[in-house]
Structure 1
Amino acid sequence: MFSSLPQLSIVVAIYNGEMFLSRFFNSLKSIKLNNWELILVNDGSRDNSLKILQEWKERFPQVTIIDQENQGVSVARNVGFNVSKGQYIVFPDIDDVIHPNMYDRMINIAKNDNLDILTCNGNYVYADGRPSRPIFPSNRLRSTGVLTGPQWLEMALNSKKFLHVTWLNIYRREFLLTHGYYFEPGLHHQDIPWTTEALLTAKRVKYIDERYYDYFIHSGSVSHATPNDTIHVRTIHNYMKILEMLDAINQKYKDVTQNINACYWQIAKEGLGIIHSIDSIQSIEVKKQMVKEFFDRGIWSLIWKNAKNFRLRWRLGRRYFKLKRILNS
């Protein structure tokens, strides 16, 4: 029987995106896929984004525009997810470009292999003119057959080149609904715990080393803004929360994660990133406050517990005494 439900829901969070929207929509116009819906969540934009969304609405077959007060990308994605109807769902970013064959190709594979999650490759594209390069180097991650989620997560993390992102993935919507997944409100880099937990519970996943997505790196990107003390503090707080979430995920799925050392390694690795951010703070007083919170909140103990090999502990040990000197200064 023919189903009127869309094959794919494309959920897009928009905040002050007027300079990117025309290019993004033009890439959507070129996609080779029938029967899909577009859900646009305007997250309190202060520019002309909402006007542009309304101008483009008639150019796509099934469009839902939701206008809300600014609550962050996680809430915007959750709102879009809640009204989606597609068999599969994706979460692209507005400052990137989707290749015409991406979703048609991925849905065909996902359907044929009955996948919960399918991941493809993409390109880093630089606004300053540097040559583009693949997000996942082919010599580190190659196309797979059908794997369990934990098998792929272990393989991907062990490559040391894996990026926790949602926009290279297509998800079976029923899989996400069954597990009650949602994006953590107010959390930057929420893709890290999201991707980890989704893969730990997925039964059938696959990776194809085919590049269908251009991820643009530019000065307007939040992830690549020039850091100052305020940004460092925000990053530290976000990653402290991420480490706590990853630890909770490891405990929740202990029967699986206890056999995947990489699940513990990634906590220690992200912990080293927190220490680097602390070291980059210019204000001595702010730095001291962050070090105090780092220890008082138990983040140091969490990182040390998850550093399972000698090299990681040696790297952490060197930094421990430096942190203590800051705290006692």
Structure 2
Amino acid sequence: MSDKPQLSLVVAVYNGENFLNAFFDSIKAQNLDSLELIVVDDGSSDRSAEIIAQYAQEFANYRVLSQANQGVSAARNTGLAVATGEYLAFPDIDDVIHPGMYPRLLEIALKNQLDVATCNGTYIYDDGRPSKKIFPSDKLASTDVLEGPVWLQRALASRKFLHVTWLNIYRHDFIKAQGFTFEHGLRHQDIPWTTEVLLTAKRVQYIDETYYDYLIHSASVSHTPGTNDTRMRSARHYMKILEMLNTINLRYPEQVKRVPACQWQIAKEGLGILHSINNIDDPAKRKEITQELFDRGIWQMIWRNARGLRQRWRLGRRYFRLKRYLAES
């Protein structure tokens, strides 16, 4: 019998002292007999290292790696490079993982020889709003085993799909064969990661079972009003994401023919960039980022990938506004 663990959990930690006890307890509650837990301390300056060390005796196969702060993608790559499990997962430490999530995903993955197994989760708001499913059941139902492009088209076409790593487990040999890693220094790098993984996966299955609470903090950077500088940074991150998505589409032309929503999502994310630019109230900064949008060919890419009258109409309206920004003195 192979000594290879069934699952490697790669956990990026940066100043997570407020979440680590609950996180590790949730992993213990999974009751996995064949688990490799890889914790990457990404330069924490709080008590994270101390708490991580306290749990060394709680898991049979527990590995701690430390590095200078480089961001979540670099931390995931550090853990990915040393993982030995048959399947991989990348949970976030500040969310809630319900008992049974990983045993259930492993059950269907091993039974059906899946490249990717994925489940549902719940949005939990800390401002009193009612919780809701991440993937509404009337938009995305449980599937049989599908080819990755088939699932990606279905998911994107629902308009309710969330590009995340933490609802999935991945077959390690598949990830290794494709040479997939996470993009350093990029916010929302789950978007290109998920797109490329699903375009190339042969066997994927989704179960509409909720095992993960995604906590939305009203005070977080993503959910508070931005400044001109944060909006410019966001626009640049998403420009990079669009360039990556465009490269992915060019890399897999046959698969993309089966997933027209891959082009739709470039225009959809592009509209988000235009929204960020529109909210910049400093004319000089607004002109700077708009000029960059055209100089990098982002506008042309967005327009070329737009699908349907609605997207083109929305983009057309914004084009003339962008031109006005460029004319501002």
Q: What stretches of structure 2 of length at least 5 have no aligned partner?
A: none
- In 2, Cα distance between the equivalents of 1:95 and 1:221? 12
**1:256-278 C-alpha deviation (Å, 9 max, x unpaired):** 20232101000000000000011
Q: How does 1:86-165 map to 2 (within 5 A)?
A: 86-165=85-164
CA distance in structure 1 between the partners assigned to 2:97 and 2:133 by the alignment: 15
Measure how far apart 1:20 and its partner are: 1.1
Please tell me whether the aligned partners of residues 144 and 206 of structure 2 are also in contact (alpha carbons under 8 angstroms).
yes
Q: 8 Å contact 1:32–1:103 — kept in the other structure?
A: no
Corresponding residue SS for 1:304:
helix
The change in CA–CA distance for 1:244 and 1:251 in structure 2 (over 3 A counts) is same
2:18 counterpart SS class: helix
1:1-329 correspondence runs (5 A) = 2-219=1-218, 221-329=220-328
TM-score of the superposed pair, with normalisation by structure 2: 0.97
The one-letter code sitting in structure 1 at the alignment partner of 2:47 is N
Give the Å deviation of 1:49.
1.0
Deviation at 1:224, TM superposition (A): 2.9
Percent sequence identity is: 58
Distance 1:224 1:65, change over 3 A: farther
Q: Deviations over 1:61-81 (max 9, x none)?
A: 211111100111111000000
Q: 1:150 aligns to what SS in structure 2?
A: helix
Q: Give the count of matched residue pairs.
A: 328
Quickly say closer, same or farther: Cα 1:222–1:43, change in 2 above 3 A. Answer: farther
2: CA distance, partners of 1:80 / 1:197? 20
Compute the displacement of 1:223 (Å).
3.2
Aligned partners of 1:8 and 1:37 also within 8 Å? yes
Given that residues 24 and 95 in structure 1 are in contact (C-alpha distance below 8 angstroms), is that contact kept between their aligned partners in structure 2?
A: yes
TM-score, reference length from structure 1:
0.97
* CA displacement at 1:56 relative to structure 2: 1.8
Q: State how far apart, in whole Å, the 1-side matches of 2:327 and 2:63 are.
A: 55
Q: Which amino acid in structure 1 is aligned with residue 70 of structure 2?
A: Q
| TM superposition shift of 1:15 | 0.8
The separation in 2 between residues aligned to 1:218 and 1:321, in whole angstroms, is 36
Deviation at 1:129, TM superposition (A): 2.9
Change (3 A) 1:59 1:220: farther
- For residue 25 of structure 2, give the secondary structure of its aligned residue in structure 1: helix
